[in-house]
């Protein structure tokens, strides 16, 4: 009977030993080979290495050399940590160099202005003047049509922004467009009359020259020359009258074009539509607003000309 001291076991167990054949992978530090131990209770198991002691020995065998120390760092781990430390050191050196270079490139320290910040509450605020006023646009207009008619088109609503010259709306224009067409036709008729009068004038001029030549040759009388001269002067007057008629026709055409243009309601300047007064179908009459007609179509304001108007007490 021998006593067995196993690593990590504090009790002394009575065992019976039976020698086994040596095995190349199982050997003990303190014995000839592995042993099969039969522990009281009938169970048998192998221990990798055991140490035989005499019953009189009270000290336990040191089996700490057989432990697998998982908490100790391996050689590969130590090498990896060393490489990481080296990389971090290189990066830190590069960052320091970049900071130094940036500092030198700026030519010196950055000047910083300091100020004192004070938290101001409504109770501690002191006002020099208190007044009530309004924000008013200095450029504002009620836009209306120059002509009278029923509103056919309205292209804006309140809040829309428009540019100078944009068409805000349009009133009916059938009558003025018909007048414009008639005026242009009169211009074309005047052109034709000028052509006809010019032809007659040319013919009268040739006849007058021919009669005068005959008169110089004593082949025509004085009365024939006077008659030819009168025809020529009449033709010349007709030509000038045709030219004047054409000028009048052109004036009428331009007037008709203005009347057609007046049916368009355009923005006089860049601004924002504040108020809309008329809707499609209502009659628009400039400076004649009533229950049956509207004077202004929209109110337009230039929001870039806003000013505050306030009443300030003199006391």
* pLDDT at residue 270 tops 90: yes
Inform me whether the pLDDT recorded for 4 exceeds 60.
Answer: no
> Which of 314, 299, 309 is CA-nearest to residue 267?
299
Taking only the tens place, the pLDDT of each residue in 200-230 is 888 888 888 888 888 788 887 888 888 888 8
**Residue 2, φ and ψ in degrees, nearest 5:** -120, 160
Average pLDDT over residues 95-120: 72
CA distance 195 to 292: 51
The count of other CB atoms within 10 Å of the CB of residue 288 is 13
Residue 303 in 3-state DSSP?
helix
Please say if the pLDDT value at position 271 is more than 50: yes
What is the Cα–Cα distance from 70 to 252, expressed in whole angstroms?
112
- Band the pLDDT of 123: cuts 50, 70, 90: low
Q: What is the mean pLDDT of residues 24-47?
A: 44
To the nearest whole number, what is the mean pLDDT of the chain?
75
For residue 9 the two structure tokens come to: 């076991």
Coil, strand or helix at 200: helix
Give per-residue pLDDT as tens, 51-94.
Answer: 444 444 444 445 555 555 555 555 555 566 677 888 888 888 88
If pLDDT is split at 50, 70 and 90, which confidence band does 32 have? very low
pLDDT value of position 96:
82
Residues contacting residue 128 through CB under 8 Å, at least 6 positions apart: none
Q: What are the strands, taking DSSP E only, across 50-186? A: 52-53, 132-137, 140-143, 149-154, 161-162, 167-171
Dump pLDDT digits (tens) for 70-81.
Answer: 555 555 555 666
Q: What residues are paired with 133 via a beta bridge?
A: 310
């Amino acid at each position: 009977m021998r006593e067995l001291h196993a690593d990590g076991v504090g009790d002394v167990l009575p065992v019976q030993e039976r020698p086994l054949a040596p095995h190349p992978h199982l050997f003990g530090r303190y014995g000839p080979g592995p042993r099969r131990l039969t522990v009281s209770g009938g169970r048998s198991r192998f221990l990798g290495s055991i140490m035989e002691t005499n019953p009189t020995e009270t000290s336990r065998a040191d089996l700490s050399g057989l432990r697998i120390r998982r908490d100790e760092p391996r050689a590969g781990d130590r090498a990896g940590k060393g490489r990481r430390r080296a990389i971090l050191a290189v990066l830190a050196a590069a960052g320091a160099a970049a900071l130094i270079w940036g500092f030198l490139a700026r030519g010196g320290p950055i000047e910083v202005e300091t100020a004192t910040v004070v938290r101001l509450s409504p109770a501690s605020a002191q006002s020099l003047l208190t007044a009530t006023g309004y924000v008013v646009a200095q450029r504002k207009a009620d836009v209306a049509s120059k002509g009278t008619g029923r509103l056919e088109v309205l292209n804006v609503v309140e809040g829309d922004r428009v540019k100078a010259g944009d068409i805000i709306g349009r009133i009916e224009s059938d009558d003025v467009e018909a007048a414009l067409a008639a005026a242009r036709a009169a211009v074309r008729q005047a052109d034709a009359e000028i052509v006809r009068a010019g032809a007659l004038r040319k013919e009268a001029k040739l006849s007058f020259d021919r009669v005068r030549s005959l008169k110089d040759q004593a082949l025509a009388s004085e009365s024939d020359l006077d008659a030819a001269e009168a025809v020529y002067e009449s033709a010349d007057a007709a030509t000038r009258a045709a030219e004047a008629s054409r000028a009048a026709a052109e004036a009428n055409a331009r007037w008709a074009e203005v009347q057609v243009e007046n049916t368009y309601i355009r923005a006089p300047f860049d601004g924002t539509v504040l108020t809309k007064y008329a809707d499609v179908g209502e009659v628009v009459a400039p400076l004649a607003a009533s229950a049956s007609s509207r004077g202004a179509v929209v109110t337009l304001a230039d929001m870039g000309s806003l000013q505050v108007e306030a009443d300030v007490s003199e006391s």
